[in-house]
Amino acid sequence: MMRGRLILVIALIVPLTARASFTSRPHYMTIAFHDVVDRAGDGDENSVTAASLVGFFEWLRGNGWTAITLDDIARAQSGARALPDRAVLITFDDGYRSLYTRVYPLLLAYKLPVVAALVGAWMEDAARETIRRGDDLIPGTNRLISWDEAREMARSGLVEFASHSYDLHRSQLANPQGSEMPAAAIRAYARGGGYEDDASYRRRIRADFDRSRVLQQKEIGVAPRALVWPFGRYTQAAREEALAANYQFLLTLDPEPGFIEDLPNVPRLLPVANQDLRAMISFPVAPSSAVRLVRLNPQTLVPTDAAAFEKNLGATIERVKRLGATTVVVDAASPGAQNRLEGAWFPNRVLPMTADVLSRIVWQLRTRAGVNIAVSLPVSSALATLGNDDAVVRLFEDLGQSAMADALLLDHVPALTEIRSDESSFAPRWEVRRRRSSLDTTRLPAADALAMRAFAAFEHVRPGTRLFLLTDTIGGAPSAIADLTLVKTPLPEKPFEDVVNRLLAAGWMQPGRRYSSGVWILGQAPPSAAVLSTDVRLFQRRGGVAFGWEQDDPLSDEPKAALAAPAVSAATFPLVPKQ
C-alpha cells in the first residue's frame, strides 16, 4: 500500500514543477487608484496624495517601466506584440473629481495612459451630495467628474473609461439577520420573500451591466469594454453575465501580477494608507505577515433567542480581535454520530438546515474583526450522510453561495497532502492555483478526487478561493496544491515539541516553505493560555509562522485572550527573527 502511494506522489510531482515561475513568464502589474488628495488623511484609506502620485510617475519613468493600455494587453493576447518587460496598467476607480483636476494634468505632462471606471448611477444623480447609506459612503456629484469632463479626457486618447457597474457599487440585504453585502457578489435576500434564485440573480446583474454600457455609449460615445468589479467582489455567475454582455476585461482586486493566459481577469494591487507605491509594484514574492487561526463552531453561538445570538456573536468578534487572530475557521455544518452531519448552518438543497447563520457569522467576523475566513465542511462526512458524490458537490456549491469566504479547509485527504513539488522556493498563490488547475484528479483515490470536486464547486462560485489542508502526517514538503498545509499536533509540551522538531528536520521551516505550512494544535478541551503560549513560542523559535488550535470556547474566553495574546497575536509576532 505504501509503495503504491509513493508511486502516485512521484507521478504527480512532474506536471507541477514543469511550469516556470512568474519571474520568467511575461506579466504586467496593475495599480488600482481611487481619490487623489493634497494631504495624507484628507481622504479615506484608499486615497493617495498628489505628491505620492507624482513621485510614483517619476519613479516609473526613471526605472524603465512602461505604462500600457488595454489595447497593449489585447495585442499581447493575440500574439501581435509582446508586452514590455516592465509593464504597468494604471487605473482609477469611482470617477472622483481629482481624476480631472489632479490626475489628468499629470497624464498630459507625462503622456501616461490610464483606465478610469465610472459608476453610472452616481454620474446620473446630478443633485446628490455625499451621503451614507448603511455601511456605504456614496460620493455626491460635488466629488465626481462631469460627463463633459469625461468626454474631454476620452478625446485626449489617454483615458479609457470602464464600467464600475451602473448601480452595484453598494451593499444589499443578504440574510435574515440584516447583513448588507456587496450587491454583485450575493444572492439578495427579501424579508418575506427569501433568497434570489440563480435566474433572478443573473437577470439583475445582467440588466445592470447592460444599462452601464448603454449609458457610457450615450454620454462618451464608446461603450466600455472593461468592467471593474465593485469592491473587488464577484461570483462566477456574475463573471459569465459580464462576458455575455460583451465586456472583454474584468478587473479585480486580487494582489497579483497579470498574465495573458488568465484573461479576461486583470488582477490589481490596491494601495491603502498612502503606502509606498514603488514597493508594491516591485512586488516582493514572499508574504509579509504571519497566520493565526482559531476555529469557531456556530453551535456555541446559537441559542433559540435571536438577540442572544447577536450578543454571543459580538462577544466572539471582540475576543477574536483581542487574540490578534488573522483567520477564523468556521464550521459550516454540525457533526453527528458515525461520521455523519446532523445539519448545515446555511441554506442548501441536500441537507437539513439547523439555522441560517453562516453568512451572518462570516460577514460580521470579516468586517468587524478584520480577519480572513476559512470555512470547514468535511467531505467524508458529507458523503456518508448524503450517499453520492453529486449531492456532495451540490452541497459545496450551496456553501459557496452563502459563505463569502477566503479559503476552504479540508481534512482526511491524505493523497492531496502528499502531492509535492521539488521546488523549495516560496510559491505565491497564483502559482499554487496553477498547480491545482493542472492536477489530474483521475489519478487520485476516490475520496481525494471527490474532495477536489467539492473544492472546485465552491471555487466556481467564489473564484480565487484558497485551499487549506489538515494532515496527520509529515511528508517531505507541504502539499504543492494547498495554500496552507497544517499538521495536527498534540497539546502537551513534549509531544508537541517532537512534532515541531520533525517538521524542522523535514525542511518545513525553511524560508521557502514556512509560509505555506504550520501546525494545528488539537485538544479535547480548550487549552490553557499558559500551555498554548508555551507551544506557540517554541514553534516560533523554530521558525514557524502559521498555527491554529481547537478546541476553543469564545463565550467562556478559553483560552483567556488577554493572557494568550502576547504569544499568539499576529500584531506582536516578530517576522524577522533577531540574529
Q: What is the pLDDT of residues 34-65, one digit of tens each?
A: 999 988 777 778 889 999 999 999 999 999 99
Of the candidates 225, 463, 466, 438, the one whose C-alpha atom is nearest the C-alpha of residue 327 is 466
pLDDT given for residue 137 in this prediction: 61
Residues 316-355: tens digit of each pLDDT? 999 999 999 999 999 999 999 999 999 999 999 999 999 9
Phi, then psi, of 376 in degrees rounded to 5: -120, 130
> Which pLDDT value is given to residue 15?
45
Cis preceding-peptide flag for 559 (omega within 30 of 0): yes
pLDDT of residue 271: 87
How far, in Å, CA of 213 to CA of 218, rounded?
A: 9
**What percentage of residues in the chain have a pLDDT greater than 70?**
89
What span, in angstroms and rounded, lies between the C-alpha atoms of 325 and 371?
7
Higher pLDDT, 32 or 273: 32
CA pair distance 133, 170, nearest whole angstrom: 8
pTM (two decimals): 0.91
d(CA 122, CA 197): 28
Answer whether residue 311 shows pLDDT above 80.
yes
> Is the link from the previous residue into 236 a cis peptide, with omega within 30 of 0?
no
Q: Kindly report the CA angle at 37 between 228 and 69, in degrees rounded to 5?
A: 35
What is the average per-residue pLDDT within 118-127? 84
Q: What is the mean pLDDT of the chain?
A: 89
- Label residue 5 by pLDDT band (50, 70, 90): very low
Contact 520, 554 (CB under 8 A): no
Helix (H) or strand (E) holding 4: helix 2-17
Tell whether the model's pLDDT for residue 113 goes beyond 90: yes
CB 372 within 8 A of CB 407: yes
Cell match 516609473: residue? 60
217 close to 223: Cβ distance less than 8 angstroms = yes
* Burial class of residue 377, CB neighbours in 10 A (0-12, 13-18, 19+): buried
Grid cell locating 292: 493565526
Helix (H) or strand (E) holding 342: strand 341-344
Q: Distance from CA of residue 334 to its chain's centroid?
A: 25
Q: For residue 421, what pLDDT is reported?
A: 76
Assign 335 to helix, strand or coil. Answer: strand
Closest CA to 175 of 341, 309, 265: 309
List the grid coordinates of 420: 509535492
Residue 304: the pLDDT is: 76
Residue 140 has pLDDT above 90, yes or no: no
Model confidence at 362: pLDDT above 70: yes
Amino acid 290: pLDDT: 83
* Whether pLDDT at 576 is above 50: no
Quote the pLDDT of residue 25: 80
